[in-house]
Amino acid sequence: MTIPTIKLNDGNRIPQIGLGLWQNKDKSEFDAAFTAAIKAGYTHFDSAQAYDNEQFLGAAMQNQKREDLFVTTKIAVQHFGYNNAQKTFQESLKKLQTDYVDLLLLHFPVPILRKKSWLALEEIKKTGGAKSIGVSNYTVKHLEEMKQYASVMPGVNQVELHVFLQQPELLEYCAANNIVVEAYSPLAHAKDMDNQVVADIAAKHQKSYAQIMLRWCLQKGLVVLPKSVTPSRIQENMNIFDFELDAKDMQQLAAQDRDLRTCWSPVHVP
């Protein structure tokens, strides 16, 4: 099966589904998840310095053709700053056992240091260390501020986004500014797995509750990053390309938005 891709503002393409690697810190569990993901057809893997598993991904990737994979990592908040970001990125490359990443993100809009850190990412992109660069957890305010200092705007903004946290204003802004939105925690950390509307739509399509939530993200034009270490779930999360939610489904799901945040919130970050 060929995974659909979305074109970024620099011309590169990103697979529309990726395996989220947050909290995946046990090597044998990691290896089993990676093997299951490759078997299921995943090519896109989303890591970060803060996840403490870049070295596991680097080792696992050695049995694959590097050019067939799409690898993301993120600069951790404690490594922000121009020199610091560049230095720690080199350490990330060593752990990942590769000379480039497909996507490099700033993990959070850290006050004061985010400007210098972005300039470091621009330099890394220029010299080929990252094919594309972007940000994570940025609000409209943070993205708008970037126009004052960025030579290139981010290709991606990775944020918490799901049926219960739809962020329409942010989606509209990113679409207007040619920034692709990646949805992390697309299953809302299982915080609301008994919503009747989602359950009814799942029954109608003979799909699981999780598959409906993931399919909604796809149809909103998002890149979706479900996280799992369970091989059967990893496979199930990939089986979302063989059906479509109709206009009524999408309308009903739109009404489920209730601003449910399950992760760190950037809303009050100046």
Torsion 270-189-73-2 (CA) sign: negative
173 is catalytic: no
Residue 98, classified by CB atoms within 10 Å of its CB into exposed (0-12), middle (13-18) or buried (19+), is buried
Contact 80, 117 (CB under 8 A): yes
**165 in helix, strand or coil?**
strand
**Residue with token string 């060593």:** 94
Contact 156, 125 (CB under 8 A): no
Measured in degrees and rounded to the nearest 5, phi and psi for residue 146 equal: -60, -25
Active-site hit among 51, 138, 184, 209: 51
Contact 192, 216 (CB under 8 A): no
Q: What is the rounded CA–CA span in Å between residue 159 and residue 139?
A: 9
Give how far Cα 229 sits from Cα of 15, 28, 79, 165, 209, Å: 20, 10, 28, 24, 18
* Element (DSSP H or E) covering residue 196: helix 196-205
Residues with a catalytic annotation lie at: 51
